[in-house]
Chains A and B, each alone.
Chain A
Amino acid sequence: MPSKYLRTILSLLLAVAFLLTACGGAATPTAAPAQPTQAPAQPEPTKPPEPTEPPAPEPTQPPAEAPTAAPATTEGKTLLIAVSGDIAGWDPAASIYWLANEVIINTHDTLVDYKPGTDDAGNAVRKVGDFAPSLAESWDVSPDGQKFTFHLIKNAKFHNGDPLNAQAVKDSFARILAIPGLAQFLLADVAFVKSADQIVVDDEYTVTFNLPQPNPIFLKVLQEMNMVIVNAAQIAKEGGEGDAGLQWAANNPTGTGPYVLDKFTPGEELVLKADPNYWGAEPEFTTVIYKIVPSAENRLLLLNNGDVDMVYEIPLKDFGSLKDNPNISAYATPTFGNLYMELGRNLPPWDNPKLRQAIAYAIPYETIINEVTYGFAKPAPSWVPVGLEGFIPASPYKYDLEKAAALLKEAGHEGGKGLPPVTFYLKQGVPEEEQAAVYIQAELAKLGITMDIQPLSLAAHSEQLQKHELPFTFNFWIPYVPDPVYHLYWNFLTTDSGCCNYTSFSNARMDEIIKAGLIELDPAKRDKLVEEAQQILVEDPPQIALYHPTWNLAMKSSIKGYTYYPDTLLRFAQLSTK
């Protein structure tokens, strides 16, 4: 009888299926915090499966047996973080990826740090414009603001054991000057250190920077993660010159920071371990594991189930629901980031300021904050981010279709008459920007303006943006150095270069203000300049900020000590369970 076989087959299949899921059950101890340090004794402590091809990128680690020397560290805790994607390239002179930057800031130190404080809501934040010691325990600034002398701490060592001294600091900055990129720009053009000769080694632990001009934001630049101190001598020795050295440095962090890179499996995980010789306090989380979990739904489930300690990049629509779970702390801190809509100032007919003003009145700011970001954003009522020195709520633009229609009429395009259809170019894969564009499209339609929405690949968007070819688009901008003049410099200084004045804004008075602000030491005078700059932009808006997004992070509520930094990067050594 066929049914007999059928029964056998089906029962076999069931058995297989059961076996598979049963394995699943057995292997999932729902025990709380993972404690991989006491992993079952393996027959082979597998260090070798390092997937990297070239033998060179051996992390700066003693052989696997060595750690037994410091048995104390095995009692530390593990922090397990689910992230969405790859993390690679840990050379602070070249890094551009946010996650890579976080690895850099945890494996290196800057000379000066941000000072602890609290924001209006009482959350722990690091304050802008206030400085705390780090590798430099103190510093002197000459009255003319051109000479900065740093006194280094004496007990800091690089991960390979080399001492941190004045020469190492000088070499680290000299290295930045030799590698084109963001770091070089910050050091040379914003901090005014254009040559290594400007850095003088006074003695073993004292180093002086001589600047050709007064610089009010020199310390702000040094706080920035690209300005961390690397072991340049080690990079030169082990990595070699030129591209080989760059390649080596991209794979081998060489700092003085609380953590060392222990293991990186591209596409899978990255493991940081506390450096037992760290000069500061030993972190409670001695192991930090980033696990790559591409699916946002899964990251959320993992956190809700307590299988990971912390989750990055939670969709905004789900972030609000996290507060219902008492085991989870969800932090949303306002940032200096801006979602700018570029208004095509350089491309007719949008060179007419009246038309751009009309658009600025047609954007449903509040609706976008509530519906698109689910409230995880703050209004941005100016062209300088809220909270930076000199900010004033200068922008008169709020959602007002009547005013917009009137301005259209003034510009000679009543009801959109005579205006060609305009295209809004989006970069692919950013849901908030896609939705916001749709809201804007609907409002412009009410004014009689036809707007198409066209997604572009990341690279295509980036290229056309830098060539100033996009009439309407979004540009998400966060000032690396949290400073108003720095911010104005990038967005509104007359320039023929790609970034980031994407609509070729040009105004003689604005240029004067920016150039004066870069060297103005008096905070009150500087604030006045910044205020004037914001007024100029009211009449001739090249772009308009839709909102300042909040920085969202969710973790188990048992984890304490989270502090928001203006660069949004997490410092794991500050976290604890106490």
Chain B
Amino acid sequence: MRTFLFILKRAILLIPILLGISALAFTMTHILPGDPTYILLSPYAKAEDIARKRAELGLDKPLYIQYGIYLQDLLQGDMGHSYRTQQPVLSDLKQRFPVSFELTTLSLLLAILVGVPMGVQAAVRKDTWFDHLTRVLSTGGVSIPIFWTGIVLIFILYYKLQIAPAPLGRLDTTILPPRQITGMYSFDALVTGNWPAFKSALSHLALPVVTLAFAMIAPILRITRNSMLESLGSNYVRTAISLGLKRHTVIYTDALRNSLLPVVTSIGLIYGWSLGGEVLVEAVFSWPGMGYYAVNSIINMDFAPVQGFVLVTATIYVTVNLILDILYTVIDPRIAR
């Protein structure tokens, strides 16, 4: 009951947050210099055509009225229309979200799978060659630009060794996409038992996932290590070990669990950030996700997709944080009290 109330409270808080973000996104896109009408119409457009188009788009009205119209549409589930793709923003995002979601989630899973155990080991074996190795790895992950990792991987594994598939999107051109359930090809193919598509989807995911995961591992690894070091140095761990409990039980049950809070927090942050922020990975691997869509829209002053994107990303971010809060209560039940 207590947990439920806690969740409810947090969920209600979402509304003002999202409202504020929508207002912010709206204002920010509209105060940028440059009138989209001029690229919407051909350069040959006459002054009266430009004026007419501006009126049609509502750009001649004061900003607060424009925002009011936007909110009204939004409440009806209408996020506007992208003139660049000639599609409603909602359907554009619906199509691109699963693409980004699949990539980010798999990358994060891989990053956790590698980063957390390595961080634990780095702490346990502090100042050994292994610890130094993880330091090199995490420094690399932070400092090597993500698109560069991608380009190098493509160059070596696709161009030189020819073991990775061509960076031509999410499936081989000879493979039809699986029946759409979630829009995530690997998942859909798995569920429908479409093995050729599953294999192709996984192979196309491999490089972008490794690229993105490489950047994600660094913070996860470092935070795990530091948090573990603190736990390992604490009295209860020393006591437990001196009492003769199995060392690995102490490390993985007592110490790790107590070290997890900051790790989970950082994972949440990384996840929220990369769902919209893996633009560079998307660009390098021709991955038709949300980030690249948003960047192209910004460049072309296509307002509606940018606002839609910000809203979706914010919602995800806030939701992830909500889930994290719930997770905290599981890890440390004292928090919900």
Q: Residues of A with Cβ closer than 8 Å to B?
A: 2, 5-6, 9, 13, 16-17, 20-21, 23-28, 30, 34-36, 39-40, 42-46, 48-49, 51-54, 78, 80, 82, 85-86, 88-89, 96, 180-182, 185, 247, 250-251, 265-269, 289, 291-295, 297-298, 301-302, 304-305, 307-308, 428-429, 456-463, 466, 490, 497-500
**A21 lies within 8 A of B163 (CB):** yes
Q: Which residues from chain A contact B329 at a C-beta distance below 8 Å?
A: none
Closest to A302 in B: B166
Expressed in whole angstroms, the Cα–Cα distance for A269 and B173 within the complex equals 10
Expressed in whole angstroms, the Cα–Cα distance for A28 and B118 within the complex equals 32
B327 at the interface (CB under 8 A from A): no
Q: Which of B50, B159, B169, B203 contacts A304 (CB 8 A)?
A: B159
CB B293 to nearest CB in A, in angstroms, measures 6
CB A79 to nearest CB in B, in angstroms, measures 11
B45 at the interface (CB under 8 A from A): yes
**A20 lies within 8 A of B209 (CB):** yes
Which residues 44-81 of B have a CB within 8 angstroms of A? 44-47, 49-50, 52
CB A572 to nearest CB in B, in angstroms, measures 17
Expressed in whole angstroms, the Cα–Cα distance for A429 and B154 within the complex equals 24
- Pick from B38, B117, B293, B301 the residue with the most CB of A within 10 Å: B38
**A305 lies within 8 A of B32 (CB):** no
Q: Which residues from chain A contact B130 at a C-beta distance below 8 Å?
A: 6
Which residues 156-201 of B have a CB within 8 angstroms of A? 157-159, 162-170, 172-180, 192-194, 196-197, 199-200
Q: Which residues from chain B contact A80 at a C-beta distance below 8 Å?
A: 173
Q: Which of A28, A54, A181, A305 contacts B163 (CB 8 A)?
A: A28
Q: Which residues from chain B contact A180 at a C-beta distance below 8 Å?
A: 45-46, 49, 52
Q: Which of B34, B96, B125 contacts A457 (CB 8 A)?
A: B34
Question: Assuming the A-B contacts A28-B163, A180-B49, A265-B95, are A291 and B286 also in contact, with contact meaning beta carbons closer than 8 angstroms in the complex?
Answer: yes
Q: Which residues from chain B contact A182 at a C-beta distance below 8 Å?
A: 42, 44-45
**A27 lies within 8 A of B172 (CB):** yes
B16 at the interface (CB under 8 A from A): no
**A307 lies within 8 A of B168 (CB):** yes
Q: Which residues from chain A contact B233 at a C-beta distance below 8 Å?
A: none
Expressed in whole angstroms, the Cα–Cα distance for A166 and B92 within the complex equals 39
CB B64 to nearest CB in A, in angstroms, measures 22
Q: Which residues from chain B contact A85 at a C-beta distance below 8 Å?
A: 296
Q: Which of A23, A30, A82, A251 contacts B162 (CB 8 A)?
A: A30
Closest to B56 in A: A243
Q: Which residues from chain B contact A499 at a C-beta distance below 8 Å?
A: 43-45
Q: Residues of B with Cβ closer than 8 Å to A?
A: 32-36, 38-39, 41-47, 49-50, 52, 84-88, 90-92, 94-96, 110, 113-114, 117-118, 121, 124-125, 130, 151, 154-155, 157-159, 162-170, 172-180, 192-194, 196-197, 199-200, 202-207, 209-210, 247-248, 282-286, 288, 292-293, 296, 299-301
Q: Which residues from chain B contact A96 at a C-beta distance below 8 Å?
A: 41-42
**A88 lies within 8 A of B167 (CB):** no
Expressed in whole angstroms, the Cα–Cα distance for A94 and B110 within the complex equals 47
Expressed in whole angstroms, the Cα–Cα distance for A490 and B42 within the complex equals 13
**A9 lies within 8 A of B117 (CB):** yes
Q: Which of A45, A267, A458, A459 contacts B96 (CB 8 A)?
A: A267
Q: Which residues from chain B contact A54 at a C-beta distance below 8 Å?
A: 88
CB A520 to nearest CB in B, in angstroms, measures 23
Expressed in whole angstroms, the Cα–Cα distance for A429 and B295 within the complex equals 13
**A28 lies within 8 A of B159 (CB):** no
**B38 lies within 8 A of A466 (CB):** yes
Q: Which residues from chain A contact B194 at a C-beta distance below 8 Å?
A: 42-44
Q: Which residues from chain B contact A429 at a C-beta distance below 8 Å?
A: 299
Q: Using A301-B159, A498-B43 as known contacts, list a sample of 8 further A-B pairs with CB atoms less than 8 Å apart, ordered by residue number in A.
A: A2-B247, A42-B194, A43-B194, A180-B45, A291-B169, A304-B159, A428-B299, A499-B43
CB B86 to nearest CB in A, in angstroms, measures 4
Closest 8 CB pairs between A and B?
A459-B34, A460-B34, A53-B91, A267-B288, A459-B301, A51-B95, A20-B206, A462-B38
Q: Which residues from chain B contact A459 at a C-beta distance below 8 Å?
A: 33-36, 38-39, 300-301
CB B3 to nearest CB in A, in angstroms, measures 33
**B200 lies within 8 A of A27 (CB):** yes
Closest to B40 in A: A96
**B114 lies within 8 A of A13 (CB):** yes
Q: Which residues from chain A contact B159 at a C-beta distance below 8 Å?
A: 301, 304-305
22 residue pairs from A and B, CB less than 8 Å apart: A13-B114, A24-B204, A27-B165, A40-B174, A45-B176, A46-B176, A49-B180, A53-B90, A82-B168, A86-B85, A180-B45, A180-B49, A180-B52, A182-B42, A293-B167, A294-B286, A295-B286, A298-B285, A301-B167, A302-B166, A458-B299, A498-B46
**B85 lies within 8 A of A457 (CB):** no
Q: Which residues from chain A contact B96 at a C-beta distance below 8 Å?
A: 267
CB B76 to nearest CB in A, in angstroms, measures 14
CB B27 to nearest CB in A, in angstroms, measures 17
**A49 lies within 8 A of B85 (CB):** no
CB A514 to nearest CB in B, in angstroms, measures 16
Expressed in whole angstroms, the Cα–Cα distance for A129 and B117 within the complex equals 72
Expressed in whole angstroms, the Cα–Cα distance for A6 and B299 within the complex equals 47
**B202 lies within 8 A of A23 (CB):** yes
**A24 lies within 8 A of B207 (CB):** yes
CB B160 to nearest CB in A, in angstroms, measures 10
Q: Which residues from chain A contact B42 at a C-beta distance below 8 Å?
A: 96, 181-182
CB A185 to nearest CB in B, in angstroms, measures 6
Q: Which residues from chain A contact B154 at a C-beta distance below 8 Å?
A: 297-298, 301
Expressed in whole angstroms, the Cα–Cα distance for A451 and B188 within the complex equals 57
**B44 lies within 8 A of A500 (CB):** yes
**A457 lies within 8 A of B94 (CB):** no
Expressed in whole angstroms, the Cα–Cα distance for A27 and B176 within the complex equals 14
Expressed in whole angstroms, the Cα–Cα distance for A350 and B234 within the complex equals 75
Q: Which residues from chain A contact B39 at a C-beta distance below 8 Å?
A: 458-459, 462
Q: Which residues from chain A contact B45 at a C-beta distance below 8 Å?
A: 180-182, 498-499
Q: Which residues from chain A contact B192 at a C-beta distance below 8 Å?
A: 43-44
Question: Assuming the A-B contacts A28-B164, A247-B86, A305-B158, are A6 and B121 also in contact, with contact meaning beta carbons closer than 8 angstroms in the complex?
Answer: yes
Expressed in whole angstroms, the Cα–Cα distance for A308 and B192 within the complex equals 30
Closest to B164 in A: A24
Expressed in whole angstroms, the Cα–Cα distance for A268 and B177 within the complex equals 12
Expressed in whole angstroms, the Cα–Cα distance for A468 and B213 within the complex equals 49
Q: Which residues from chain A contact B296 at a C-beta distance below 8 Å?
A: 85-86
- Pick from B38, B86, B199 the residue with the most CB of A within 10 Å: B86
Expressed in whole angstroms, the Cα–Cα distance for A455 and B196 within the complex equals 47
Closest to A294 in B: B283
**B286 lies within 8 A of A298 (CB):** yes
Expressed in whole angstroms, the Cα–Cα distance for A483 and B228 within the complex equals 75
Closest to B33 in A: A460
Expressed in whole angstroms, the Cα–Cα distance for A103 and B56 within the complex equals 27
Q: Which residues from chain B contact A30 at a C-beta distance below 8 Å?
A: 162
CB A30 to nearest CB in B, in angstroms, measures 6
- Pick from B45, B84, B151, B155 the residue with the most CB of A within 10 Å: B45
Q: Which residues from chain B contact A78 at a C-beta distance below 8 Å?
A: 173
**A35 lies within 8 A of B174 (CB):** yes
Question: Assuming the A-B contacts A182-B42, A267-B288, A428-B299, are A20 and B168 also in contact, with contact meaning beta carbons closer than 8 angstroms in the complex?
Answer: no
**A295 lies within 8 A of B174 (CB):** no
**A297 lies within 8 A of B50 (CB):** no
Closest to A78 in B: B173
**A2 lies within 8 A of B301 (CB):** no
CB A498 to nearest CB in B, in angstroms, measures 7
Q: Which residues from chain A contact B49 at a C-beta distance below 8 Å?
A: 180-181
Closest to A38 in B: B174
**A292 lies within 8 A of B286 (CB):** yes
- Pick from B96, B130, B206, B248 the residue with the most CB of A within 10 Å: B206
Q: Which residues from chain B contact A36 at a C-beta distance below 8 Å?
A: 173-174
